[in-house]
Amino acid sequence: MSYGDPNNPYGQPPQQPPAAPGYGYPQQPPPGVPPQQGYGYPQQPAYPGYPGGNMMQQTMPGLLVTARVFLFLISAVQILGAISCLYGAAVTNDVSDSADDLGFTSTSDFGDAATGVFVIFALISAALAALSITLGVKFSRGGQGVRITTVIYGALGGVIGLIYLFVGMDTGFASAIIFPLIWVVFAVIITMAPVVPSGTAWFNRPRY
């Protein structure tokens, strides 16, 4: 009889298939395949920024969005102020030149001084407009530096607005009260937005 015959009592016993692992025991994966976590075990959270990580989209808090819009509106006012000051400098310069041609030396000197003052205010307004735009743009990616600068900038703007508000209340004109009051409201929101917990968490969020 041949040893390969299954009916041969003297042949080798047939090969038994490998026993399947019992229920509840971890199965070994095939070679080259990473092991999978078993059912019922806690899954490790994926960290954002790494391959396969769960990237969660973060949204800017509503109060910061409002402060950002106010910064852009303030920058527009500051740009208009710079243009107005440059126009005033041009007018006073023409008056100074005309007075100099007519021999009015004192008027010419006054016009030159006024021209210099208008130019200085124009440069200050342009610089503040650039700062307002920069802070508003940096809200999306900025860190603690942007947060602290915004708080200081808003606080100083609020102080200036209060001064103009008190002056306007002394004059009694409604137009002299409304604009400083709006300015104070804008400044308060810009100051408080990075300080509240949602704003602090936004500027402290991890960046990868």
Q: Show the 3-state SS of 59-113.
A: CCCHHHHHHHHHHHHHHHHHHHHHHHHHHHHHHHHHHHHHHHHHCCHHHHHHHHH
Q: What is the pLDDT of residues 34-72, one digit of tens each?
A: 555 544 444 544 444 444 444 444 788 999 999 999 999
SS3 143: coil
What sign for the dihedral angle of Cα 130, 134, 135, 137? Answer: positive
Measured between alpha carbons, how far is 169 from 132 in angstroms, rounded to an integer?
27
Dmax of the chain from CA atoms? Answer: 140
Going by C-beta distance under 8 Å and a sequence separation of 6 or more, which residues neighbour residue 81? 121, 122, 125
Q: Tell me the pLDDT band of 208, cut-offs 50, 70 and 90.
A: low
pLDDT of residue 46: 41
What percent of the chain shows pLDDT beyond 70? 66
The distance of Cα 58 from the centroid of its chain, to the nearest Å, equals 12
Measured between alpha carbons, how far is 174 from 160 in angstroms, rounded to an integer?
18
Q: What is the pLDDT of residues 81-93, one digit of tens each?
A: 999 999 999 988 8
Least confident of 15-24, 46-55, 144-153, 194-203: 46-55
More confident residue, 10 or 106: 106
Provide the token pair at 14.
């047939």
pLDDT of residue 19: 52
Q: Tell me the pLDDT band of 206, cut-offs 50, 70 and 90.
A: confident
Q: Are 84 and 118 in contact (CB under 8 A)?
A: no
pTM of the predicted model as reported, rounded to 2 decimal places: 0.68
Q: What is the pLDDT of residues 146-194, one digit of tens each?
A: 999 999 999 999 999 999 899 888 887 777 888 989 999 999 999 999 9
Of the candidates 206, 195, 204, the one whose C-alpha atom is nearest the C-alpha of residue 63 is 195
Least confident of 23-32, 107-116, 123-132, 135-144: 23-32
pLDDT of residue 126: 96
Measured between alpha carbons, how far is 63 from 199 in angstroms, rounded to an integer?
8
SS3 170: helix
pLDDT of residue 44: 46
SS3 161: helix
How high does pLDDT run on average in the chain? 78
Is a pLDDT exceeding 80 seen at residue 137? yes
The distance of Cα 98 from the centroid of its chain, to the nearest Å, equals 50
Is a pLDDT exceeding 90 seen at residue 197? yes
